[in-house]
Structure 1
Amino acid sequence: MNRPVHIAAAWLLVAALGANPLHAQSPDPTPAQPRLASDSATEPASNSAMDGELFYQLLLGELNAVVNEPGVAYSLLLDAARKTSDPRLYKRAVDIALQNRSGDSALVAARAWRQAIPTSREANRYLMQILLGINRVADALEPLKRELSLAGEQDRAAAIASIPRSFTRVSDKKMAISVVEQALAEYLNHPVLGMAAWTALGRVRQEAGDMTGALEAARRAQAIEATADGPAMIALSLMDAKTPQAEALVRKYLAGRPRAEVRLDYARVLMGVQRYAEALAQLKLVTGEKPDNAQAWLIRGTLEQQERQHAAAEQSLRRFVELDATAADASEGGDSKRRLTQAYLALAELAEHRKDYSGAQDWLDRIEDSKDMLSVQSRRAAILARQDKLDEARALIRATPEKEPGDARMKVSAEVQLLRDGKQYRLAYELLRDALLRYPKDVDLVYDQAMVAEKLGDVGEMERLLRQAIAAKPDFHHAYNALGYSLADRNLRLAEARQLVQKALEFSPGDPFISDSLGWVEFRSGNLPEALRLLQQAFKARPDAEIAAHLGEVLWTMGDRKQALAVWKEGQGLSADNETLLETLKRLRVKL
């Protein structure tokens, strides 16, 4: 510790207190008398109300704080505060107690402070926060009520809105709900404050895990003020918690004049539950309403690329770069650089897809952050591989420096992907086998090896590896789905296949690829209407060439050949080289 510096700081604090007269706060101070211009020349100097004894007491208190005697410092400063009713001294005593983790002492000082100055919101807030900090939640009811009472009409809505933040860290969540309900009771039906009160109560209930109560509070809040953001934001977060009724509140809000940011959050939630078409519709509305919202263009472009809408994706991503590049150059912010890197990588991949390899390299050359070196080199390697330079591509991946702990593992995945794309399945299998010697607990590598084993025709090995992955990670829905689909595709053990795929859906409800697998199980089982329903649902949620292959075959088998051809053509437009689609068309002797 640099003790002279701290002693000097103590002197400065005491001097500051001395420079301003110590006095009790009054709720109704006497107005100052107007000064005459001539007074400035004759007015005597203003002397501090601090006498020598009090000055010495304050100095001694601060010096004890400096030399790590917080108990003595606290006692001296609290005594001085009681003598003078000065809020600064009460606050200092409370702070010393809190800094030394003495909740009881802080509580004594805060109560003395509020008793001396009953109208002080600061004293009352300190008291409430200390009570919550030491988990005396029930005792916080009275100061919470007083806080709302002391807040003026203009500040009361803000005071209500701040309540959930105050109760975030308490351990007794049920008591928190009870306290907040009691404190807000008189405001819940208020025509102006009712929305804020119900919203605050909803957030506290949600924090306590009462999702039903939170949804009801959001509904009541929205009934008072339909255009308010708060209820819609609660409903949005409840959609993540698998509360489907919440979406109705979100849609009701969006039917009005919503903020673009809320609509953007809704799109993110839809993406999280794999409702990509709906998410894209929302993103188009956001970029239409706020064409300068760079983040919306980035998310839209990324989703369009995922949905194989390549021309639209490139347009959206270029628009993002136009909007964000200047801001990134000006701010040098890490977030801006990361967003630009994401866009440049996506644009490089789009250029690669249309075989504009020079253009792809140009986009990659714009990336400056060395943290993204592995991603950049992986993309460069993919470009080389598409030009039949697989050996060069693999060498490039292997030569990339490993700067982060997970880079070596990522390099394995990047090289395996190159080999799989190049149909070098035996090499990919051997690389994964060697990698698992280094990472024996890596379930994702086990899963990847199973998928490569299937490509090699070693179905027994695939099944063994998938069961190994499930044993290591019982909620690994990809493994359940892959095993169930494989059994159904080979028309084996269909009851077990159905059970496996349904288990996958339990872990990832609504996943269109798992719904596709279940539809295929039903098709193999002869349940054509149910197969059709599931596959139509999956294809609507996620237009994909493999799902199109399955849906088209069900339609073909049911005699609706015109619709089957239409679906297959749509799938061909999504991915003309999809193996499942090509195999289906060849087996059924169909030419599009």
Structure 2
Amino acid sequence: MNRRHCLFPALLALAFAGPVAATATAPIGEVMAGEFALQQGDLPTAARHFLQAALASGDPAVAERATQVALVGEQPDIARRALARWRALAPAAAGMHGASVRLSLGQGDHDDAMDASRALLALGDPGFEVLLGVLSEARGDAGVIARAVTRGLFEQRALPDQLAAWLRWAGVARRLRDRTLSERIIDEGMARFPEDPRARLLEIARLRESGEAAAAREKLVALRDSGAILPGLRRVAASEFARQGDLRGAADVLGEGPQDDASLGQRAAWLVLAEDRAALQRLYAELRAAGAVPPPPRRLLLGHVAEALDLFDEAERWYQGVPHGAGSDLALLRLARLHDRRGDPARAIERLKDLQSDTSADGERVRDSYLVEADILERGDRAGEARLALDRGLAVFEGDPVLLYARAMLLERGNQVDAALADLRAILAEDPADAQALNAYGYTLAERRGAYAEALPYIERAHALLPDSAPILDSLGWVRFRLGEREESLALLRQAWAKLRDPEIAAHLGEVLWTLGQRDEARRLWREGAAIDPDNRALRRALETFKP
């Protein structure tokens, strides 16, 4: 890689830091020469000029600039002299000690890095913040020394005596790829600060992840009821409620205290998923009471909540009230969906065409408009026009993997299997690690071509990338079943069904159970699948084959 290209982010940071102001004690010629060399990308020359300016000046800002330029320009001797001048002028500056750590890491000097790090920690919170940043940014050989410093300072108990600081230190260790140290810091922190709400939340998360759902739930409710969830932890605690499946509880926790657009939007999303109309109505009233003329982001949220409450006229007014500019593209997209829900697909497509012709709209929103248009057309038994909509989208967003995937699935449903596989291959040619495309390609080979052995490697690669994905677990289990691995497939399909109640998974798991003689459970699963979608192709095939 070109060295100048590698230095570009650092040069940009120096440029945004702004030039050093010339003072009566700073030689203006050296400063101007340094700035000019910096603009030309000549860091060694810039470093020499700034060093001369720093040595002649009593201003620590000049010495700081000289040190920064020398470090970025990989001029350690100049950096050392500039740093000495900075230390003489500002011995307590956190930035100076941070630069000392950075220089020591770059030179592979563990002892000096430890000394400079301890000097930073002695400055309290400002020094701790600087040290976190310096160690986190270390890479390559410097990263090796940074890992040793991170471990050494923890073992010497040099860190602030607070769990929050320990957890942030664990994050540094993880970024430096020392997972063992990171987990050790968390474990010891939980033991040292057992009553800290952060420790209790970590314990709850671990209980949940280990399958002890009841214990995790009990401790989470106790933590909430104790009043120990401080404002800074509300989002974390609310997310834990959501992960445990209590979306109403998550929204309630997040609803305590001051609100912003992010918290209000997240509460709305959880309540919509929970289908809790009473709580949504209260949130809608809260949003409407917040201001007579809500800003555009709030109008979008009001429209979303009104739509969830089937207040379609109000939702339409909120969306239409978003002025052209930031957010208006999303408002058009939601209006189109709203018109479709109200049984007016023609008007919906008209809105989508407005968005597609808006040259100022966000590209992702425009891309999504083609997806929505194709979905509306396909559901209206206009698959050919849906294909044309996706073709138009791909003419604008050539090779877009989301549009290609949508077209592949449309083609597969229309029995144009070769064309569907071609689109999926095009995605994988650009990104061989696209798990969704890998799974779809393998499953299509298996389901539509009966090529189970050929399909398996694709699905296994997808599973390696996303081991917890229910659709991928389903594909893997189904193909293994078709290859004769019935017991292995049963375990995979049970995992998939536990993660996602989907009729296709029910069809596959039911068939495996039926062949293993567990017919009552198979029948129950097929009934559950039929209650979700009786027209699912895999489910219909299973029912026609086994006639339960």
How has the CA–CA distance of structure 1 residues 127 and 213 changed in structure 2, closer, same or farther, with 3 Å as cutoff?
Answer: same
Distance 2:63 2:401 in 1: 52
Distance 1:465 1:74 in 2: 59
Q: Using the TM superposition, give the Cα deviation of residue 492 of structure 1 relative to its aligned residue in structure 2, in angstroms.
A: 0.9
Distance 2:95 2:362 in 1: 44
- Structure-2 residue corresponding to 1:302: 269
Deviation digits for residues 438-458 of structure 1 (CA, Å, limit 9, x no counterpart):
444223322222211122222
Alignment of 1:22-421 (within 5 A): 59=24, 61=26, 89=58, 91-95=60-64, 97-98=66-67, 107-108=80-81, 110-112=83-85, 114=87, 120-122=91-93, 125-134=94-103, 135-136=106-107, 138=109, 139-149=112-122, 151=123, 155=124, 159-160=127-128, 163-171=131-139, 172-187=142-157, 193=161, 199=167, 201-228=169-196, 262=233, 264-265=235-236, 279=243, 281=245, 283-292=247-256, 295=262, 298-299=265-266, 301-303=268-270, 305=272, 309=274, 311-312=275-276, 314-323=277-286, 338=297, 341-342=300-301, 344-345=303-304, 347-348=306-307, 350=308, 357-358=312-313, 360-365=315-320, 367-368=322-323, 370-386=325-341, 389-400=344-355, 401-404=358-361, 406=363, 408-421=366-379
After TM superposition, the score normalised by the length of structure 2 is 0.71
- Structure-1 residue corresponding to 2:383: 425
- Check whether the contact 1:545–1:572 (CA below 8 A) recurs between aligned residues: yes
Amino acid at match of 1:97: A
Unaligned ranges ≥5, structure 1? 1-8, 11-57, 81-88, 271-276
- Check whether the contact 1:161–1:196 (CA below 8 A) recurs between aligned residues: no
How has the CA–CA distance of structure 1 residues 528 and 497 changed in structure 2, closer, same or farther, with 3 Å as cutoff?
Answer: same
Distance 2:514 2:302 in 1: 41
Q: Using the TM superposition, give the Cα deviation of residue 232 of structure 1 relative to its aligned residue in structure 2, in angstroms.
A: 8.4
Amino acid at match of 2:469: D
Q: Using the TM superposition, give the Cα deviation of residue 505 of structure 1 relative to its aligned residue in structure 2, in angstroms.
A: 1.0
| Higher RCO structure, 1 or 2 (CA under 8 Å, sep 6+) | 1
Higher alpha-carbon Rg: 1
Distance 1:338 1:289 in 2: 22
Distance 1:320 1:225 in 2: 36
Amino acid at match of 2:187: R
Q: Using the TM superposition, give the Cα deviation of residue 128 of structure 1 relative to its aligned residue in structure 2, in angstroms.
A: 1.8
Q: Using the TM superposition, give the Cα deviation of residue 362 of structure 1 relative to its aligned residue in structure 2, in angstroms.
A: 4.4
Amino acid at match of 1:399: D
Distance 2:165 2:409 in 1: 54
- Check whether the contact 1:198–1:220 (CA below 8 A) recurs between aligned residues: no
Distance 1:430 1:424 in 2: 10
Distance 1:261 1:299 in 2: 16
Deviation digits for residues 456-487 of structure 1 (CA, Å, limit 9, x no counterpart):
22223323332333233211222222233234
Candidates 466, 475, 479, aligned match of 1:517: 475
Q: Using the TM superposition, give the Cα deviation of residue 513 of structure 1 relative to its aligned residue in structure 2, in angstroms.
A: 1.2
Distance 1:93 1:423 in 2: 71
Distance 2:411 2:284 in 1: 41
- Structure-2 residue corresponding to 1:579: 536
Distance 1:328 1:98 in 2: 51
How has the CA–CA distance of structure 1 residues 494 and 137 changed in structure 2, closer, same or farther, with 3 Å as cutoff?
Answer: same
Distance 1:373 1:590 in 2: 52
The secondary structure found in structure 1 opposite 2:441 is helix
How has the CA–CA distance of structure 1 residues 529 and 207 changed in structure 2, closer, same or farther, with 3 Å as cutoff?
Answer: closer
- Check whether the contact 1:489–1:520 (CA below 8 A) recurs between aligned residues: no
Q: Using the TM superposition, give the Cα deviation of residue 412 of structure 1 relative to its aligned residue in structure 2, in angstroms.
A: 2.2
Distance 1:420 1:590 in 2: 31
Amino acid at match of 1:127: M
Candidates 429, 434, 439, aligned match of 1:481: 439
Q: Using the TM superposition, give the Cα deviation of residue 236 of structure 1 relative to its aligned residue in structure 2, in angstroms.
A: 12
| Pairs aligned (count) | 490
Distance 2:515 2:447 in 1: 16
- Check whether the contact 1:394–1:415 (CA below 8 A) recurs between aligned residues: yes
Percent sequence identity over matched residues? 22
Candidates 437, 442, 461, aligned match of 1:503: 461
Deviation digits for residues 78-121 of structure 1 (CA, Å, limit 9, x no counterpart):
567xxxxxxxx45244245358668866754653565688xx53
- Check whether the contact 1:548–1:581 (CA below 8 A) recurs between aligned residues: no
How has the CA–CA distance of structure 1 residues 457 and 59 changed in structure 2, closer, same or farther, with 3 Å as cutoff?
Answer: closer
Q: Using the TM superposition, give the Cα deviation of residue 175 of structure 1 relative to its aligned residue in structure 2, in angstroms.
A: 0.8
Q: Using the TM superposition, give the Cα deviation of residue 511 of structure 1 relative to its aligned residue in structure 2, in angstroms.
A: 0.2
Deviation digits for residues 174-223 of structure 1 (CA, Å, limit 9, x no counterpart):
111223444454326x9x83857754643332221222221122222222
- Structure-2 residue corresponding to 1:539: 497
Distance 2:69 2:492 in 1: 62
Amino acid at match of 1:454: E
Deviation digits for residues 343-397 of structure 1 (CA, Å, limit 9, x no counterpart):
633652x356xxx654553453454564333333333333444555434432332
After TM superposition, the score normalised by the length of structure 1 is 0.67
Report the RMSD for the aligned CA atoms in angstroms.
4.6
